[in-house]
């Protein structure tokens, strides 16, 4: 399977249930304020695809499995609580295996593409529970690795 597109959008989510009903197959939407760079979502998607291919997936489909990895969780409910959209969200991250479907959804919702929303930062590290001691081991330019490590450790949690 091809690498998915990773994008971010500015746009307000008011009715999550209605939006979920309109999300096309092959698209996963997440809170952009809990993403630390596009590599965070690329790694989650790659690990999810491998888990699906090897029959180790804990969910029914690749987008949901990607959500589990991106959140560093083994339970769908916890992953949704951590990275899922909720009413009032204004920064949306997208992982899309069907780019045309994502583009059509973004146009229909009136979202504006802004990949800078995926930059990450200290608040994302706080959300992932990265301690000050862990941060002190790396320069800020490499803090994304602390989140990538948690994504990669999802396999250990799933065992």
Superfamily of domain 5-158: CGI121/TPRKB (3.30.2380.10)
Is residue 11 within 8 A of residue 94, CB to CB? The reply is no
Q: Parse the chain into domains and list their residue ranges.
A: 5-158
pLDDT at 1: 62
Helix (H, G, I), strand (E, B) or coil at 57: coil
pTM, 2 dp: 0.94
pLDDT at 54: 94
Q: Write out pLDDT tens, residues 132-141.
A: 999 999 999 9
Burial of 61 (0-12, 13-18, 19+ CB in 10 A): middle
Is residue 154 within 8 A of residue 76, CB to CB? The reply is no
Q: Write out pLDDT tens, residues 6-32.
A: 999 999 999 999 999 999 999 999 999
The answer, yes or no, to whether residue 158 has pLDDT greater than 60, is no
Q: Write out pLDDT tens, residues 73-104.
A: 999 999 999 999 999 999 999 999 999 999 99
For 146, phi then psi, to 5°, come to -70, -35
The answer, yes or no, to whether residue 159 has pLDDT greater than 80, is no
When pLDDT is averaged across residues 60-76 and rounded to a whole number, the result is 95
């Amino acid at each position: 399977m091809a690498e998915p597109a990773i994008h971010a959008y500015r746009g307000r989510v008011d009715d999550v249930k209605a939006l979920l009903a309109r999300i096309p197959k092959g698209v996963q939407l997440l809170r952009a304020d809990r993403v630390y760079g596009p590599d965070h979502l690329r790694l989650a998607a790659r690990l999810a695809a491998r888990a699906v291919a090897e029959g180790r997936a804990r969910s029914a489909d690749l987008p949901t499995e990607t959500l589990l990895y991106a959140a560093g969780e083994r339970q769908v409910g916890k992953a949704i609580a951590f990275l899922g959209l909720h009413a009032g969200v204004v920064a949306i991250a997208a992982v899309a295996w069907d780019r045309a479907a994502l583009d059509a959804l973004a146009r229909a919702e009136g979202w504006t593409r802004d990949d800078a929303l995926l930059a990450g930062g200290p608040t994302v590290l706080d959300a992932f529970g990265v301690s000050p001691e862990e941060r002190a081991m790396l320069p800020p330019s490499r803090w994304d690795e602390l989140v990538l490590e948690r994504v990669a450790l999802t396999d250990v949690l799933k065992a």
